[in-house]
Structure 1
Amino acid sequence: MECPFCNPDKEALLYEDGLIRILIDSYPANRGHLLVVPKRHVESWEELREEEKLALLRGMELAMEKLRGTLKPDGFNVGMNLGRAAGQTVPHLHLHVIPRWEGDCRSPRGGVRKAVLDLEDENLNLRERWVRNRLSGEEIERLRAAFSRK
C-alpha cells in the first residue's frame, strides 16, 4: 500500500516545509479537521528526531492559527493515535487538529478521554457525516490562501 502521507493528494496539501506537511483529513471528524505529518515516513513517536518533534508542534500551532482566522472555531481537539491498539489506521505518525464549535455535538465533556470508553464512534459508520464535515471549495481556498500568507 502506498502511504497517503508520503505521497499526498495535491488537493489535500495545505502546507509543507522541509520537515512537515499539513493536510486536510479525508475522513473529517469535524469541519476543518487537519493532519500534521512528518515528511519522513515514521510510524512511531520514538522514531522521530528532535527537530521533527518540534516541527510537529509548530505545525499544530500554525494549523490552529489558520483555522482560527478562516473558520473561527470555539476550541480544538488535538491528538495522536499511536499504534494500532490506539486506533492508528495509517502507519505513518500524524497529529490530528480538529476544530470544535459550541453545540457541534450533544456532549463534548470528556473530550479526547472518551477515546478509551467502549463506545462506537458515530463518525465511523456515517459516510454522509464525513461528506457533510468536508470543507467547501471556497473554504478550502480561503484556508489555502491563509497558509500561503504564513
Structure 2
Amino acid sequence: MTSNDNSSDLEDFIVTRMRMSHIYQPVMLKVLLDGNGEASLKEIAKALLSYDLPQIEYYGLRTKRMVGDVLTKNGVVEPIKSGSAIVGYRLVDDCPSERRRATLSALCDDRLAHFIEKRGEAIWGHRSLSNGYVSGSTRYEVLKRAKYRCELCGAHETQTALHIDHIIPRSKGGSDGLSNFQALCMSCNTSKRDKDDTDFRGVLASYDTREQGCVFCELGAGRIIAENELCFAIRDGFPVTHLHTLVIPKRHVADYFDLYQSERNAIDALLQERRRQVREEDPTVTGFNVGINAGASAGQTVFHVHVHLIPRRDDDVADPTGGVRGVIPSKQRY
C-alpha cells in the first residue's frame, strides 16, 4: 500500500458504494488490510473458506465418519458429546506439557512431509474426474441447472452443502458426462448408496407443471398475497371467516399425498408466515383451523392441492362439528 492515506476513499467504498451479493468483498478487503495491503490468492481463499458454513458442515461430517472414527477406535481420542450429538474431540490422555505438545506437533509435521513427498499429487488422485471428482466448471453447470437446490428435498446451498452426484453410479457404468450428474444435499447424498441410480432431476422440472383449465394454475397474479419458490397464498373466494387464506403449491398436483417433501416444507413455511401476518392484521384472532381436503369424498372440489388457514376468534359462531369440518366446502370455493 502506498504511503498516501487513501483510507477515506476505501471507507467511503465500504460504507456507501460496495454492493454485495455475497460475503466475498469485505472478507477479501479484511485479508488485505490485515496483510498490510497485500495477500496471496491462497490466503484470500482460506479466509473465504472460513466463512463457508456448508463446507465446514461437510468436513465436520467427514471428521466424524472418517478420521475421528479411526482415532477413536485406536484409543487416541474420544468424542465430546452434547446429548447424542458429537460436537468435538479430546485426547484420551491428559494434555501434555507445552514442550511435549511442540515435540508431538513436529512429529506430525514430519509424517505429513514424508507422506506428501512419497505420494505427491496421488494424495488427491481419488478426486480425479475418472474417480468421481467433479471439476469446478461441471459443478457450476450442475448447480446452475438445479437452481442451487437439492433435487430431492429442495434444500438450498445456503442451508447445507450440496454434492454433485452421479445418477448412474460409476460402479454400474455411469459416465462423467453432464447429463449423468444431479445436485443432492449432503444428507440426501450420504443416504444414497452407489447401487442406487434414482434420477431426481425430474423433480426439479416437474415444479413447472401446470394444467390448462385449472383455476389455481391460471390464477391471476393480482390474487396472490404472498409466495415463495414452490407455493403461493391467496384469500379464499368464499371465506369461512375474515382473512381465510389458501396456501397452494405452484406445481399442479391433485392429491396432498403426492406432494414432494420440499413442497410440504415450502407450504409449512408460508403457513407460518401467513399465520403471523393474520395475527398482526387482526389481534382478535385467537386460533386457526388448518385443513386439507384430499379426494372428492372428502369434499375436495378443486383438484389442485390447497391448504386452508382459517382464522378463529372468540366471538366466531361455534362449529358443532368441532371446526375441522368447516374446512370441507359445501360448494366449490377458491
C-alpha distance in 2, partners of 1:26/1:65? 21
> Counterparts of 1:48-59 in structure 2 under 5 Å?
48-59=259-270
Q: What is the TM-score of this pair, normalised by structure 1?
A: 0.71
Equivalence for 2:213: 2
Q: Structure 2: which amino acid aligns with 1:16?
A: E
Structure 2 match to 1:36: 247
Does the Cα contact within 8 Å between 2:299 and 2:330 map onto a contact in 1? no
Q: How does 1:1-150 map to 2 (within 5 A)?
A: 2-72=213-283, 73-107=285-319, 110-112=322-324, 114=325, 124=330
Backbone CA RMSD of aligned residues: 2.3
Residue 11 of structure 1 deviates from its aligned partner by 3.2
User: What are the Cα deviations for residues 12-65 of structure 1, in whole angstroms up to 9, with x where unaligned?
Assistant: 210122100011111111110000010000001232111001111111111101
Instruction: Name the SS of the counterpart of 1:74 in structure 2.
Output: strand
Task: Return closer, same or farther for 1:108/1:68 CA change in 2, 3 Å cut-off.
Answer: farther
Q: Which moved more, 1:68-77 or 1:30-39?
A: 68-77
Q: How many residue pairs end up in the alignment?
A: 119
Using the size of structure 2 for normalisation, the TM-score is 0.33
SS at match of 1:6: coil
Q: Which letter maps to 1:93?
A: V
Letter of the aligned partner of 1:25 in structure 2?
Answer: D
Kept in 1, the 8 Å contact 2:228–2:266? The answer is no
Task: Say if 1:74 and 1:108 are closer, same or farther in 2 by CA, change over 3 A.
Answer: farther
What do residues 54-92 of structure 1 show as CA deviations (whole Å, max 9, x unaligned)? 111111111101101112211111100111111011000
Q: Is the 8 A contact 1:12 1:25 kept in 2?
A: no
State the secondary structure of the residue aligned to 2:222. Answer: coil
Give percent identity, aligned residues only: 35
Compare the two structures and name the one with the higher helix fraction: 2
Structure 1 gaps of 5+ residues are: 116-120, 131-150
Match of 2:111 in 1: none
Aligned pair in 2 of structure 1 residues 104, 50: CA closer, same or farther (>3 Å)?
same
